[in-house]
Structure 1
Amino acid sequence: MLRLSKLTDYAVVVLIRLDEGQRAAGCDGVQTSPGIAAATGVPEPTVAKVLKALSASSLVVSQRGARGGYRLLRPLDAIAIADVIAAIDGPIALTACVDGNQGGCEVQSLCAVKGRWDLVNDAIQGALSSITLADMRDASVPLVFRFNTHMSAPLAE
């Protein structure tokens, strides 16, 4: 099973929260780590760790001083999910072969699919690069997946 880390999930939440702050009327877009934590429910030390990684990847910028905090460097429609994953978890690589770690496989010399995982990895990278944080922010749950709190089956259209 492919699964993103919790930190990557939290990074998406933090970035969308930063966007909400920047779009709020009368707000300069700078938000503090404790403020983001309070608004999202993500623990403050985790928010700080995520913001540090996002800053190192030039997705956010920190501002020092009494009115300091963090703000987005680009709008959400210019940030791909692949960028967030790479910022938090590193490059997208399904196998050791794909990430260039050739020494990580005992059967490399006999491998029938050596180098062929690149095709799959590139497809996943392409898909994740085509989805932006604005897409995530604006996505709505299709009606077929919505549940009425009084029913156990999806609502009909």
Structure 2
Amino acid sequence: MRLTAQADYAVVLLAAAARHCGVSGRLNATVIAEETGLPLPTVQKLVSRLSAAGLIDSARGTGGGFRLARPPATITLADIVEAIEGPIGLTTCVDPASHDCAVCGTCHVRPHMGTVNGAVRSALAGITLTQLSSPAQGTHQSTTLMGPKAGVQSQPVGGWTPAFAGEQV
């Protein structure tokens, strides 16, 4: 599973906005584009989409700009991904109205995909914008964000406990 560039850029944009939270009033797209290295048109497009999703408040004109709509600790990675990509759905199996799968009628895995999808969504929902905007601890940022130090509790799924590559279970 890989995030689209737009979802990835939205995380970068919101993490930068979170670092400014409480320091300045409204931010403008030009400042965020310069700070993050994202192209200005991309930042402007993302501001529009994130505003429509209720993650940021934006205003046009003199004194305009944008700011987080709520505290960074209450915005999760799942919120950001869903704002850009729509509901998290690893496969078409998690959509009861979808019948796009060629083996849908005989598949023994389909009844379990809702649980798998829920586990992935829960993992993303366990990572806040506060964590994403903080300096990385150690040398492996992704491990810090996803590991126990970030406060994400692994929940066994059907008796299976997820592990990182090379980890003893």
The equivalent residue for 1:85 is 81
AA matched with 1:91: P
Q: Distance in 1 between matches of 2:56 and 2:37?
A: 20
The aligned runs of 1:1-157 (5 Å cut-off) are 2-24=1-23, 27-28=24-25, 30-143=26-139, 145=140
How many positions carry a matched residue from both structures? 141
- SS of 1:97 mapped into structure 2: helix
Q: Is the 8 A contact 1:102 1:108 kept in 2?
A: no
Q: Is the 8 A contact 1:77 1:133 kept in 2?
A: yes
CA contact (8 A) 1:53 1:87 kept: yes
Cross-structure match for 1:149 = none
Report the equivalent of 1:154: none
Give the superposition deviation at 1:100: 3.4
* Superposed structure 1 runs of 4+ greater than 4 Å apart: none
Contact 1:91 1:99 in 2 (8 A): no
Letter matched to residue 114 of structure 2 = D
Q: Is the 1:22–1:71 contact (alpha carbons within 8 Å) kept by the matching residues of 2? A: yes
Q: Which structure 2 segments of 5+ residues have no match?
A: 142-169
Larger radius of gyration: 1
Counterpart-to-counterpart distance in 2, 1:18 and 1:114: 39
Contact 2:29-2:40 within 8 A present in 1 as well: yes
Paired with 2:7 and 2:92, the residues of 1 have a C-alpha distance of 21
- Residues 51 and 58 in structure 2, CA contact (< 8 A), matched pair in contact too: yes
Deviates more, 1:48-57 or 1:92-101: 92-101
Considering only aligned residues, what root-mean-square deviation do their CA atoms show, in Å? 1.7
Structure 1 stretches lacking a partner, 5+ long: 147-157
- TM-score normalised to structure 1 length: 0.83
Spell out, residue by residue over 1:80-110, the C-alpha distance to the aligned partner (whole angstroms, 9 max, x if none): 1000000011111110011335221111111
Secondary structure of the equivalent of 2:78? helix
Q: Is the 8 A contact 2:56 2:67 kept in 1?
A: yes
In 1, the alpha carbon distance for the partners of 2:95 and 2:82 equals 12
Report percent identity of matched pairs. 39
Amino acid at match of 1:21: H
